[in-house]
Structure 1
């Protein structure tokens, strides 16, 4: 099959979950003998035309100049380019800035859309933007040939709201069992002697709640805050907690080996995400054998079940910092690791996507012959 992946900033991953998935899945498809194309921003750090057998198509992306509005132009450029490529399948990752161009998508390919996670619920968006995102979600739901939901909660929502069936396929992670303790020296921490939180700096990821709990706690155990913080919200948090030197804003860390080892050797890994489906960084924390304390919501509970601690307030966080010790909770960690091996490993996820593609393509060919 000739397959395109649109809706991301490109591969290899320098940004987030969809980019990570696009990187792993596109390479997997190429290794299986398919002709795969991935759209990249023109200013993506990777400027080659091929990436491990995947064709890279760079398109102009003015986000650096216009902010969020630039994403709409970038997606428009990708979709217009796709009209001349004769693809069999186009996989859209998300709908935020591309579903308004649905009428420009080429007619021949099968359009499969991963519906992401209720973007309109994100508190960073104003009311008018949230209303727009609801419309964008509806457009993607009704205009795509097939939908993918990355959590059972999203699948249920799509069925109830749009009367549309979807295929449940979560994100994946690679089981990690080869930590490198020497990496800790680079980050000035000691084995078991620090906690972590990793997230985009957005209000619904509850960084403020976690750090507020840290500030209330008498224990001054270092907390590594991982994520790009050169944002308005990041500046707010850095200013608010500037008198707590054990709260360390690390910036983005994209070396997966370093991240895995940091998660592995941390005492508590806080996961504050409260909106969306199956979060990639949560799965990676499970795969890294971290002891997880997650924000209490259905998305996180659906993945972690009873194998994590949960918090809903700064006081909950403070209490966990006093009481939760990794070595006392090895069964929780083991259960999460086994869930990665069984349900969330990349081989299974990639295979599930490819099976969906093959079924959709076979149905498409049979329909055309009929």
Structure 2
């Protein structure tokens, strides 16, 4: 098959979950003998035209100049280019800025869209933007040939709202089995004597709920706040908590070995995400044998099931900090690790996507 991947900033990953998946999946497809193309931003750090056998197509991306509006131009450029390539399948990762150009997509390829989370529920967006995202979501749902949901909650939502079936395929993670305690010295923390929260700095990731709980608990254990805090919301949080020496804003950390070790040696790992599907950082925490304490919502419960403690407000965070010990919950940790090995491993996830592609090709042979 000749396959294109659209909707990311490009591979190898220097940004987020979709880019990580695109990197792993595209290389996997090449290894299986398929011809694969991935669209990259023109200002991506990787400037070559081939990555481990994957053809890289750089397209002009003015996001650096125009902000979010630039994403629409980038997707427009990618879709126009795809019309010249005679692809069999186009995999779109997300719909936020590419769905408005659906009428420009080439007619021959099968269009498969991973619908990501319920983007219009994100509180960072103004009401007009939320309304647009609902419109874009609808366009993607009705214009794609096949849909993929990365969580059972998203699958149920799409069926209820648009009466459209979707294939449930989660993300994956690599089991972490090589701890190196010496890495902790670089972050001035000690084994199981620090807590963590890691996410993009957005209100729906509930930093304030967790950090207010830390303050209420009067627990002096350091908590590492990991993510790019050089944002408007990040500045608000740094100002709000600047008087608390145990709340440490670490910035973004992209070194996966370091992140895995921090998660592995943490005392408690808070996962505050409340919107979206299967979050990659949650799977990576499970794969790193962290004790996960998660925001109480269907998305997180769908992954962690009974193998976590859940919180809905800062008072509950406070109580968890004062009562939960990692040493008392080794079975939770092991159960989550085994879920990665058995259910959320990359080989299985990649295989599920390839199987879907093969089914789609077989089903579309006589569509006209």
Q: Which TM-score bucket, shorter chain as reference?
A: over 0.9
**Using the alignment, how far apart are the partners of 1:316 and 1:162 within structure 2?**
36
SS across alignment from 1:182: helix
Partner of residue 360, structure 2: 360
Please say if 1:166 is aligned against 2:175. Answer: no
TM-aligned CA deviation for residue 366 of structure 1: 4.3
Please say if 1:76 is aligned against 2:76. Answer: yes
Partner of residue 300, structure 2: 300
TM-aligned CA deviation for residue 365 of structure 1: 2.4
TM-aligned CA deviation for residue 14 of structure 1: 1.1
> What pairs with 1:45-64 in structure 2 (closer than 5 Å)?
45-64=45-64
Please say if 1:155 is aligned against 2:151. Answer: no
TM-aligned CA deviation for residue 189 of structure 1: 0.7
Q: CA RMSD for the aligned pairs?
A: 0.9
Partner of residue 237, structure 2: 237
Q: Which 4+ runs in 1 deviate beyond 4 A?
A: none
Partner of residue 87, structure 1: 87
Partner of residue 24, structure 2: 24
**Using the alignment, how far apart are the partners of 2:252 and 2:27 within structure 1?**
24
Aligned residues: 368
SS across alignment from 1:56: strand
Structure 1 unpaired stretches of 5+? none
> What pairs with 1:68-217 in structure 2 (closer than 5 Å)?
68-217=68-217
Q: Deviations over 1:220-258 (max 9, x none)?
A: 111111111110000000110001121111111111111
**Using the alignment, how far apart are the partners of 1:170 and 1:87 within structure 2?**
25
Partner of residue 272, structure 2: 272
TM-aligned CA deviation for residue 216 of structure 1: 2.0
**Using the alignment, how far apart are the partners of 1:245 and 1:215 within structure 2?**
11
Please say if 1:256 is aligned against 2:242. Answer: no
**Using the alignment, how far apart are the partners of 1:48 and 1:182 within structure 2?**
35
TM-aligned CA deviation for residue 217 of structure 1: 2.2
**Using the alignment, how far apart are the partners of 1:238 and 1:217 within structure 2?**
19
SS across alignment from 1:178: coil
Q: Deviations over 1:269-312 (max 9, x none)?
A: 00000001111110111111100000011111111111001111
TM-aligned CA deviation for residue 367 of structure 1: 3.9
**Using the alignment, how far apart are the partners of 2:239 and 2:110 within structure 1?**
48
Partner of residue 2, structure 2: 2
TM-aligned CA deviation for residue 265 of structure 1: 0.4
TM-aligned CA deviation for residue 318 of structure 1: 1.4
Q: Deviations over 1:325-363 (max 9, x none)?
A: 111100000111111111111100000000000111122
TM-aligned CA deviation for residue 323 of structure 1: 1.4
**Using the alignment, how far apart are the partners of 1:26 and 1:239 within structure 2?**
42
Structure 2 unpaired stretches of 5+? none
**Using the alignment, how far apart are the partners of 1:319 and 1:132 within structure 2?**
40
**Using the alignment, how far apart are the partners of 2:279 and 2:260 within structure 1?**
16
